[in-house]
Amino acid sequence: MLKGKDILNTAQFSLQELNLIMNTAANFEKRVKSGEIIRNMEGQVVASLFFEPSTRTRLSFETAANRLGARVISVADAKSSSAAKGESLADTIRTVDGYADVIVMRHPMNGSAQIAADNASHPVINAGDGTGQHPTQALLDLYTIRKERGVLGGQTITFLGDLKNGRTVHSLGYFMALCKNKMIFVSPKSLKMPAKITEDLRSRGAEIEETEDVEKALSVSDMVYVTRVQRERFEDPEEYEKVKGVYVINRAMIKKAKKGITILHPLPRVDEIATDVDNYEGAAYFRQAHNGVYIRMALLALISGSI
């Protein structure tokens, strides 16, 4: 179903495909945890091109490829590749396409993943394109929701923080709509979810509420997805200073929130979740980061046709 496909955005997925990816990830998780050596991608090469900072996404992709028996070639820093000499993205991709069987790329420009896919014969996975999309993060978010809540749909989720620049919420919104969850968007006025995305989600049948009142939102939410204010996307540092600490989730707020609320965050966190929340049992963000390996194993194996 997914063999040979590019993974560029979350609007592209059907429920059937999501279920296939979730089930494949669960199977890999079980096998890895039982100590099995898995070799589905033996003999294949995965290119990991990161032209923007990353810890979790790059390392979990590379871990996933290694755990499948593939070899990894990587650019971990734009300064160390020929991009720094002025090479176009199209030319870099045409070159790497001759080396690797799958290309994973993070790049600061919106739409860069599509450019990469247009210039590669092998499948391209978007590991974050500017303020655009981050589909593999949304897949691991959904896998985490399935594990933490036992269901994919019928819940209320609050998206909190920088909804304008945060690519993770742009991506997850489509899965929440597809799985029929209600969404509440909470952000400062200047960091609202782009109207184009909100309208697109509504046209897909999503129920969405927008507010600045975080306590009210949390009192009716089964989950809250907290995001970092994306400092690197601000042209004016003063604008960042104005909004950076506007919403901070702490233990006292959890007490007033809906009982059993699940707290998600793609990480890295700066100060938007106080560390006193970390030992709350519904704080799922580090478990969420670990889930990335199994989701990325599933994706790599499925699109390379190794399963």
Binding map of ligand NCD across residues 106-145, x = CB under 6 A, - = no contact: ----------------------x-----x--x--------
Among 107, 146, 167, 244, contact with ligand NCD (rule: CB under 6 A): 167
| Beta carbon of residue 124, minimum distance to ligand NCD (angstroms, whole number) | 17
Question: Which residue, 167 or 182, has its beta carbon nearer to ligand NCD?
Answer: 167
Question: Which residue, 123 or 166, has its beta carbon nearer to ligand NCD?
Answer: 166
Specify the DSSP element, H or E, that contains 145.
helix 135-149
Question: Which residue, 127 or 307, has its beta carbon nearer to ligand NCD?
Answer: 127
Among 57, 112, 119, 155, contact with ligand NCD (rule: CB under 6 A): 57
| Beta carbon of residue 128, minimum distance to ligand NCD (angstroms, whole number) | 5
Among 267, 274, 280, 305, contact with ligand NCD (rule: CB under 6 A): 267
Question: Which residue, 123 or 135, has its beta carbon nearer to ligand NCD?
Answer: 135
Active site residues: 56-57, 85, 106, 134
Helix, strand, coil fractions of the chain, as percent rounded to 5: 45, 15, 40
Closest to 303 in 3D by CA, of 90, 135, 94: 135
SS3 at position 153: coil
Question: Which residue, 13 or 285, has its beta carbon nearer to ligand NCD?
Answer: 285
SS3 at position 223: strand
Specify the DSSP element, H or E, that contains 247.
none
Among 107, 122, 164, 228, contact with ligand NCD (rule: CB under 6 A): 228
Rama region for 95: left / alpha / beta (φ>0; ψ in -120 to 50; rest): alpha
Q: Does 31 bind ligand NCD (CB under 6 A)?
A: no
Token pair, residue 180, equals 């029929």
Q: Does 56 bind ligand NCD (CB under 6 A)?
A: yes
Site size toward ligand NCD (CB under 6 A) is 10
Q: Does 76 bind ligand NCD (CB under 6 A)?
A: no
Q: Does 266 bind ligand NCD (CB under 6 A)?
A: yes
Beta carbons of 256 and 214 less than 8 angstroms apart: no
How far apart (Å, rounded) are the C-alpha atoms in residues 154 and 62?
A: 34
Own/partner pairs, 86-95, CB within 8 angstroms, 24+ separation: 89/115, 89/116, 89/119, 90/115, 90/118, 90/119, 92/49, 93/119, 93/120, 93/124, 94/119, 94/120
| Beta carbon of residue 16, minimum distance to ligand NCD (angstroms, whole number) | 26
| Beta carbon of residue 173, minimum distance to ligand NCD (angstroms, whole number) | 14
Question: Which residue, 123 or 128, has its beta carbon nearer to ligand NCD?
Answer: 128
How far apart (Å, rounded) are the C-alpha atoms in residues 278 and 271?
A: 12
Beta carbons of 224 and 249 less than 8 angstroms apart: yes
Among 10, 92, 168, 262, contact with ligand NCD (rule: CB under 6 A): 168
Token pair, residue 113, equals 């993943």
Question: Radius of gyration of the chain from Cα atoms?
Answer: 19
| Beta carbon of residue 166, minimum distance to ligand NCD (angstroms, whole number) | 6
Binding to ligand NCD (CB under 6 A) within 231-260 occurs at none
Q: At what angle do helices 15-33 and 285-303 cross, to 10 degrees?
A: 110
List residues near ligand NCD by CB under 6 A.
56-57, 128, 134, 137, 167-168, 228, 266-267
